[in-house]
Every structure is written in structure tokens, then in C-alpha cells.
A and B are shown apart, each in its own frame.
Chain A
Amino acid sequence: DTGVSQDPRHKITKRGQNVTFRCDPISEHNRLYWYRQTLGQGPEFLTYFQNEAQLEKSRLLSDRFSAERPKGSFSTLEIQRTEQGDSAMYLCASSPPSGSETQYFGPGTRLLVL
């Protein structure tokens, strides 16, 4: 299967701890997105990478959040000093280089902050 993959699939952490999630996009997709989804809501955009460049960040992305895509392939999303409000599903999506805005989602990482 060559779809978007994410790791870990589930993460339970204590408030104040740091967590890091990884996303591997579909091969040859140079565009990568991070979203956050809470119960009963649609996904909310966090940040966007085109190759290794982070071109857009949402105001939702506080200074405790940082994302990287160092070689233009996989990406990581780190949350520092987690808070209970960070509990959510973190979704990664990717798009091909063409003009289509179609985004394909990975399975997500479900974060629970105790």
C-alpha cells in the first residue's frame, strides 16, 4: 500500500510532556498538510509544506507546535508542553505536484493528553 502513513496511530501522554508525530506522504507527492480534528468537528488546517518549505501556518499553530519536513519527504509535528486541549486526531494529507487541490489523508494519530 502506498498511501499516506502516520506514526504512531495512538499516543497517550501526560500534560506537560512533549510528543512528536511522523507522516510519510504518498511517494512523489511534494505537497504535505497537517490538520487537527476534534470530536464532532471537521478537520482544521494547521500547516502546509511544499517540498521542504513550510509555506503556510494557521493561527491555530501556537508556538508550542512546530513542524518540519527536512528533506521534502516525511514530516514531523512536535507539540511541546502538551495541554489537555491538545487532545485530538492529528491528520496528515498529501497532494501531487499538479494543480489539483485534492488531498489524500493518512490514518491519523489520535492524541490523548491526561
Chain B
Amino acid sequence: QKEVEQNSGPLSVPEGAIASLNCTYSDRGSQSFFWYRQYSGKSPELIMSIYSNGDKEDGRFTAQLNKASQYVSLLIRDSQPSDSATYLCAGWTFRSGYALNFGKGTSLLVTP
């Protein structure tokens, strides 16, 4: 079992809707979480980081962390076709050393 799990999708949402991307993790000691966006053939681009329970908002993006349930989510409001990409969830714990543990990513398709 991977330490970070994501549904590979694809998740399809209409333009203007809210896209909800979820991620679960197995290591309760995980302290930091990151969402990256990756367009096909490109490298991961950092969207948001979250360290504490609750919500963190940045523009159209909201990251949510629930350590008791061991899940992290990313909400994208007013989804645009340009948001179509793979979204990678990554977690960090002291036990992982210096590495980020990535999920396989969820493919998001925003249809016009």
C-alpha cells in the first residue's frame, strides 16, 4: 500500500463547477501536505501547501486537511478548461526522511 493514495480518475466536471480532489494517507505522523498540478508532459507545479487541520484558501483553490481521518482534499472553484491536468498529492513526515511521498495523481477534465 502506498503511503499516499489518490483516485486516478478521470474526474470530469463542467466549466464553472467545483472540482473536489481527494487524497488519503497512511502515516499518522505526516506533518505537511502539498498539492501539485501537472500538465501532460510537464513537471509538477506547486499549488498549495497545508500543515494544520482545517481549510486554507488561495484564490480559487482551497486545501482541506483532516488529520484524524487522514485525508487531504483540494477544491477548485469556478473550474476552467485550463485547470484540466493531473493533480498530485504529496505528504511529508520525519520518517520519510527528506522525500515527499506522492500519490499517483488524479486526472481532472473540465469540459466547456
Q: Does A65 contact B (CB under 8 A)?
A: no
How far does the alpha carbon of A56 sit from the alpha carbon of B43 in the complex, in Å?
Answer: 22
How far does the alpha carbon of A101 sit from the alpha carbon of B90 in the complex, in Å?
Answer: 11
Whether the Cβ atoms of B99 and A108 lie closer than 8 Å is no
Our pick among A31, A40, A43, A55 for the contact of B44 (Cβ within 8 Å) is: A43
Residues on B lying within 8 angstroms of A by beta carbon are 4, 8, 32, 34, 36, 41-46, 49, 88, 90, 92, 97-105
A90 to chain B, nearest CB (A): 10
Q: Does A2 contact B (CB under 8 A)?
A: no
A32 to chain B, nearest CB (A): 10
| Chain B residue nearest in CB terms to A44 | B102
- A 2-41 binary contact with B (CB < 8 Å = 1; else 0): 0000000000000000000000000000010100000011
B86 to chain A, nearest CB (A): 9
Whether the Cβ atoms of A102 and B49 lie closer than 8 Å is yes
Q: Which 4 A-B pairs have the closest CB atoms?
A: A42-B102, A45-B99, A48-B98, A108-B43
Whether the Cβ atoms of B99 and A56 lie closer than 8 Å is yes
How far does the alpha carbon of A9 sit from the alpha carbon of B90 in the complex, in Å?
Answer: 24
Our pick among B4, B46, B99, B104 for the contact of A48 (Cβ within 8 Å) is: B99
Q: List residues of chain B with CB within 8 A of the CB of A106.
A: 43
Q: List residues of chain A with CB within 8 A of the CB of B90.
A: 42
Q: List residues of chain A with CB within 8 A of the CB of B49.
A: 100, 102
How far does the alpha carbon of A58 sit from the alpha carbon of B102 in the complex, in Å?
Answer: 14
How far does the alpha carbon of A41 sit from the alpha carbon of B4 in the complex, in Å?
Answer: 12
Q: List residues of chain B with CB within 8 A of the CB of A48.
A: 97-99
Known: A102-B49, A105-B43. 18 other contacts (CB 8 A): A31-B98, A33-B98, A33-B99, A42-B104, A43-B88, A43-B100, A43-B102, A45-B100, A48-B97, A48-B98, A58-B99, A100-B49, A101-B32, A101-B92, A103-B34, A105-B44, A108-B43, A110-B41
